[in-house]
Amino acid sequence: MDAVSDREQRVLDIIETARSKRAKFRDERITMAHGAGGKATQALIEGLLVPAFASPALDGLADAGIVRVGELGLALTTDSFVVRPLRFPGGSIGDLAVNGTVNDLSVAGARPLVLSLSLILEEGLPAETLRAEVAAIAAAARAAGVEVITGDTKVVERGHADELYICTTGIGVLDERASLSPAAPRPGDRILLSGRVGDHGTAIMLARGEFELDAEVASDTRSLWPAVDALLDAAGPSLRCLRDATRGGVASVLNELARAADVAMLVREADVPVDPAVAGAAEILGIDPLHIANEGTLVAVVAPEAADAALAALRAAGGRGDFAQAAEIGTCHGAPGGMVLLETAFGGKRVMDMLVGDPLPRIC
């Protein structure tokens, strides 16, 4: 990459050295940071979970595992949802449980097919709360075109859960148009974003009443399959990879991809669509909107020759709300490999790393 000063390069070298080591898990106890999607989560996953299973499917650390059965390629993905509060502007835990799983399949290039639903209920949960979430799950599944075909219910005593936890697992069928890999991005590739960043995390934060802000922000929870379908149609094999920017936000996703592909990613801050209310909330919290979780926003890396067509297709895609605010936000470069740099509105550059934890726990 051009225009990295000597001083910047020295900082990059130090960070690079630290990051090239495989994450280790050395903590004696689990902390909230281990569930926040940042570096602590990565250390838990790479340092403890993945080595235990010695499964090639897990090595990619993707959002879905792939299994081949005869001629067929299937994607399997699972997520537990522990969001607090259960309901928030734009959605609820039931919506997230469906869309989160549908989206993990979608960004794996798999058309979502069926879901399983496992509930952990806290003793004393009002039946009306359960009824409302079951209705939300059914509605979200209909909207996403998937069927819930099996389930399980457990109840734990008061004080051993927080009303309701949901685990959804989904099967998708790998789309023949897709040849996606987190290692695929190359220098010159363009980085697309399907919409605004930070709406979901901000909506949750406001719903918790944790600070005063006279703003209305709704979660972006929705199925991303219409966006993925449009991108696959427009770009086919030129679509390098897709990621759903949930916990840890766009910044975490880009860092994971930059590392996996050993490319540098340069993001132009001015081109990232952010709602003014979200920008304001982020400012107050002292975090970057690119670190705030989304539940219906994806990052796509596309070969340069297909980028314009892909962006146009994305903007025209249907689905809940739409993807009209999709934008090209940056490009891939050869060096410094594994790093994400933000070109600020003032023309400077700074490293945009993953956070260790997340200032907003339990957002999904």
| Residue 45: DSSP 8-state | I
Minimum CB distance to a copy of itself smaller for 122 or for 233: 122
Min dist CB 130 to a copy of itself, Å, is 7
Minimum CB distance to a copy of itself smaller for 148 or for 279: 148
Distance CA 77, CA 114 (A): 11
Type of residue numbered 271: D
Min dist CB 6 to a copy of itself, Å, is 40
Question: Which among 253, 262, 106, 275 is positioned nearest to 202, based on CA atoms?
Answer: 275
Residues 215, 296, 353, 361: is their CA dihedral positive or negative?
Answer: positive
Tell whether residue 122 is a contact of a copy of itself (CB under 8 A): yes
CB 178 within 8 A of CB 92: no
- Per CB under 8 A, which of residues 154..173 are in contact with a copy of itself? 154-157, 159-162, 165, 167, 169, 171, 173
Q: Judged by CB under 8 A, which of 10, 150, 271, 308 binds a copy of itself?
A: 150
Mark residue 301 as left, alpha or beta (left: phi above 0; alpha: psi -120 to 50; beta: remaining).
Answer: beta
CB 273 within 8 A of CB 192: no
Q: How many residues does the chain have?
A: 364
- Per CB under 8 A, which of residues 21..60 are in contact with a copy of itself? 25, 27-36, 41, 44-45, 48-49, 52-55, 57-58
Distance CA 263, CA 140 (A): 37
Distance CA 84, CA 86 (A): 5
| Residue 327: DSSP 8-state | E
Tell whether residue 12 is a contact of a copy of itself (CB under 8 A): no
Of 20-28, 181-189, 249-257, 314-322, which part binds a copy of itself (CB under 8 A)?
A: 20-28
Question: Which among 197, 167, 218 is positioned nearest to 342, based on CA atoms?
Answer: 197
Question: Which among 308, 247, 281 is positioned nearest to 63, based on CA atoms?
Answer: 247
- Per CB under 8 A, which of residues 84..113 are in contact with a copy of itself? 113
Contacts of 36 (CB under 8 A, 6+ apart): 247, 248, 355, 357, 358, 361
Tell whether residue 138 is a contact of a copy of itself (CB under 8 A): yes
Tell whether residue 178 is a contact of a copy of itself (CB under 8 A): no
Minimum CB distance to a copy of itself smaller for 28 or for 212: 28
Distance CA 228, CA 286 (A): 32
- Per CB under 8 A, which of residues 256..315 are in contact with a copy of itself? none
Tell whether residue 118 is a contact of a copy of itself (CB under 8 A): yes
- Tokens 């709360």 correspond to 129
Of 148-156, 206-214, 282-290, 324-332, which part binds a copy of itself (CB under 8 A)?
A: 148-156
Min dist CB 335 to a copy of itself, Å, is 32
Minimum CB distance to a copy of itself smaller for 166 or for 193: 166
Q: Judged by CB under 8 A, which of 9, 15, 23, 66 binds a copy of itself?
A: 66
Distance CA 90, CA 131 (A): 18
Of 62-70, 184-192, 249-257, 335-343, which part binds a copy of itself (CB under 8 A)?
A: 62-70
Min dist CB 158 to a copy of itself, Å, is 10
Determine the size of the site formed for a copy of itself (CB under 8 A): 83
Min dist CB 107 to a copy of itself, Å, is 13
Tell whether residue 76 is a contact of a copy of itself (CB under 8 A): yes
Min dist CB 254 to a copy of itself, Å, is 21
- Per CB under 8 A, which of residues 185..224 are in contact with a copy of itself? none
